[in-house]
Structure 1
């Protein structure tokens, strides 16, 4: 009886997880197919692990490359990098992004938010920085599978009420490589459940 109940609960959990995973994945594909089209004041790039295997993490630098491409296309006039100290290597994500952008030839305006430790903090701590810079319209840049949660955090925290927000799905090498994309999309539902359990999503 107990074993049957546990098995049933496990099936329900797995089905729920699969449903969240499918939702995140379909939304990711939709965002990739519909890139930002309106000019904005800034691109806000959300942080990720700074280094991997002794080199700048391609999941992070790929987001920066996407933002630089927006600037070169004339869609944004400045870049904002959000991310605090990476607990695994002690580097500040925003500074790693800045270094990569400059190395990639971006010479435009830059703002750094070097404190945040989560997606929710990326948005909340970047808000006063954007407001001080007079930003009214912003393109939030992250990897495709991250954006479903980002959009809901922006709504829950009032970020999208303060700014006109568009979202850009960064087709990084991590997204393009099946192993990394699979791992990211599997991990994301756990983050969604955690955020929901803490009352950050609604």
Structure 2
């Protein structure tokens, strides 16, 4: 038996152990995200706020506005129609997959749905962390003091930790609204975005963004 083959056989148990540990970590994070998503859906925001901050997502899917994104906007519109918020803030920059600006896609959808209230656009951010960082100064300049952050259920566990780690919640009174989009209703945690979420959690934690 060659030395290379012996080395491979010796390394295989270690490799399998690493893969198993990674899978267990992934499943543990996914379970936490799922539980939190269910709680967020069951407990919508109760207090009115100055604005709903709607976080971006992929702009288009199969040639049409992404229902995972437009569903977030619909949740913001529902909050406005119920008198829970006074205005919508749409946060999302250039979609790397098709070049569209997420905030502008959200604005067109909101107007097409009949929303005639005030809108603010933050069209430059390319991550959840930047959604918060770039929207903050705009919100302060507009006199906003309280915010309902809107995103899909699977996203909110990480959003809450980014809010705390960044100090966003020291600048504003923050609540959260889970957008029960068609993507979530159809696939839940099996949706592509939700499947990626535990990896995003690990990446954010590794870079020191979550805590």
Q: Which runs of 5+ in 1 are unaligned?
A: none
Offset at residue 179 of structure 1 (A): 7.1
Q: Distance in 2 between matches of 1:10 and 1:30?
A: 30
Equivalent position SS for 1:78: strand
Matched residue count: 202
Alignment match, 2:123: 114
Alignment match, 2:69: 60
The alignment status of 1:178 with 2:158, answered yes or no, reads no
Alignment match, 2:176: 167
Offset at residue 6 of structure 1 (A): 1.4
Do the aligned partners of residues 98 and 180 (structure 1) sit closer, same or farther apart at CA in structure 2, a change above 3 Å counting?
farther
TM-score, length-scaled by structure 2? 0.93
Q: Distance in 2 between matches of 1:47 and 1:148?
A: 16
Cα deviations across residues 49-85 of structure 1 (Å, max 9, x unaligned)?
1011111000000000000000000000000000001
Contact 1:25-1:185 within 8 A present in 2 as well: no
Tell which structure's C-alpha radius of gyration is larger: 2
Match of 1:123 among 123, 126, 132: 132
Cα deviations across residues 148-172 of structure 1 (Å, max 9, x unaligned)?
0000001111001110000000000
Equivalent position SS for 1:141: strand
Superposition map of 1:24-173 within 5 A: 24-173=33-182
CA RMSD of aligned residues (A): 1.1
Offset at residue 8 of structure 1 (A): 1.3
Offset at residue 89 of structure 1 (A): 1.1
Q: Distance in 1 between matches of 2:135 and 2:81?
A: 23
Q: Which runs of 5+ in 2 are unaligned?
A: 1-9
